């Protein structure tokens, strides 16, 4: 059984199969469910196949699916299918919980199936059991397997996926993004963009009508603004106001503010008022700090500490370098703030 699962990890495509492949062939090659279904049909007496109650297993916290967010409405078609077939045809994947745990099993893959069977058990079908396969996988292997399944689901938000990646990069890959990207079949830039989304402050997340509306493309616009203290403060203040508006609209059943409008307001808040660019920096000479500069409405304000014996020529050179750096900051801000939505 363990060899079969590791074969899936080695050969199952992360991304959709090429368009020229037949749909049935693509499903057989790229979908975890199809592989598991085929395994069960060909291994009816597998020692790894068991029937358990949903309450026999805890949910592994490495899976990004928002289990509390599952509902009978979102899982209706699956519930109806399992009720019709008297059980889940495609098994969930579990492993043994450590000795001393309250429950015997830990669910790795199949949160929706577990929820559906549990719902049926409490709504007139107590005899239905959860069909499962016991596997022996490390946390890193379990994470990759869950990631394969979740990429094909519509109810996993980009934010949930990104936050699971943020946790996993330190937990499983020693904080090395390139190792994680290679293991998951992603480019370094794809993974970096997802990790930037994971770092969005709660105020920004709450400004959007739902977690699903906050996407990677939004974080690409907001991340440069959140890196600068004064701009970040204005963006977060505006985000809090929008979040309160969203709550009021939700409470009264009115249409909530769409993602495009939220992004536009946050982006506008990040721009400096009256065309004044934000520039802050220190002035150094031979590695020692001799002053600082900041922007004011009229231009740059410079404060210098001129010690005895300091060369005026060296002082002017250091000041010139600081001013050139400040101009480069302004140009960089203009480039970043001109990003299209």
Whether the CB-CB separation of 77 and 159 falls below 8 Å is answered with no
Rounded distance between C-alpha atoms, residue 182 and residue 167, angstroms: 17
Q: What are phi and psi of 123, to 5 degrees?
A: -135, 55
Question: Token pair of 164, please?
Answer: 């699971």
Rounded distance between C-alpha atoms, residue 135 and residue 167, angstroms: 23
Q: Dump pLDDT digits (tens) for 312-328.
A: 877 787 777 777 776 66
Q: What are phi and psi of 59, to 5 degrees?
A: -95, 125
Helix axes 158-171, 188-198, angle to 10 degrees: 110
Q: What is the mean pLDDT of residues 30-40?
A: 53
Rounded distance between C-alpha atoms, residue 159 and residue 214, angstroms: 7
- Domain 2-155: CATH architecture, name and number where available: Alpha-Beta Complex (3.90)
Q: Taking the domains of the chain in order of start, what are their residue ranges?
A: 2-155, 157-199, 206-271, 280-337
Predicted local confidence at residue 202, as pLDDT: 96
**Placement of tokens 């440069």 in the chain:** 224
Rounded distance between C-alpha atoms, residue 149 and residue 210, angstroms: 23
CB atoms within 10 A of CB 97: 16
Whether the CB-CB separation of 113 and 129 falls below 8 Å is answered with no
pLDDT at residue 130 above 90?
A: yes
Rounded distance between C-alpha atoms, residue 86 and residue 131, angstroms: 11
Q: How confident is the model at residue 136 (pLDDT cuts 50, 70, 90)?
A: confident
pTM above 0.75, yes or no: no
Q: Dump pLDDT digits (tens) for 55-68.
A: 999 988 776 655 55
Rounded distance between C-alpha atoms, residue 108 and residue 94, angstroms: 5
Q: Dump pLDDT digits (tens) for 170-198.
A: 889 999 999 999 988 888 989 999 999 99
Percent of the chain with pLDDT over 70: 73
């Amino acid at each position: 059984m363990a060899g079969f699962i590791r074969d899936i990890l080695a050969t199952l495509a992360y991304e959709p199969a090429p368009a020229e492949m037949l749909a049935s062939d693509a499903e057989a090659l790229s979908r975890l469910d199809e592989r598991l279904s085929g395994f069960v049909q060909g291994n009816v007496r597998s020692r790894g196949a068991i029937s358990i109650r949903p309450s026999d297993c805890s949910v592994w916290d490495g899976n990004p699916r928002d289990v509390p967010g599952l509902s009978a409405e979102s899982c209706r078609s699956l519930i109806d299918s399992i009720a019709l077939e008297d059980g889940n045809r495609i098994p969930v994947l579990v492993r043994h919980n450590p000795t001393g745990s309250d429950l015997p099993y830990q669910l790795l893959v199949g949160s929706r199936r577990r929820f559906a069977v549990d719902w049926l058990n409490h709504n007139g079908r107590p005899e239905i059991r959860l069909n499962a396969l016991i596997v022996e996988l490390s946390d890193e292997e379990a994470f990759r397997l869950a990631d394969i399944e979740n990429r094909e689901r519509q109810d996993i938000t980009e934010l949930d996926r990104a936050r699971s990646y943020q946790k996993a990069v330190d937990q499983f890959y020693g904080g090395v993004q390139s190792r994680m990207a290679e293991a998951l079949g992603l480019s370094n830039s794809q993974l970096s963009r997802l990790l930037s989304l994971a770092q969005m402050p709660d105020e920004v997340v709450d400004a959007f009508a739902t977690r699903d509306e906050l996407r990677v493309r939004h974080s690409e616009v907001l991340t440069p603004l959140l890196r600068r203290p004064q701009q970040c403060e204005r963006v977060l203040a505006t985000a809090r106001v929008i979040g309160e508006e969203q709550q009021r609209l939700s409470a009264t059943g009115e249409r909530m503010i769409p993602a495009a409008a939220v992004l536009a307001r946050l982006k506008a808040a990040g721009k400096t008022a009256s065309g004044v660019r934000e520039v802050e920096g220190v002035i150094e000479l031979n590695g020692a700090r001799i002053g600082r500069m900041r922007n004011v409405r009229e231009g740059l304000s410079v404060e210098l500490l001129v010690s005895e014996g300091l060369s005026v020529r060296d002082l002017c050179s250091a000041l010139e370098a600081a001013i050139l750096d400040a101009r480069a900051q302004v140009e960089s801000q203009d480039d970043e703030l001109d990003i299209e939505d």
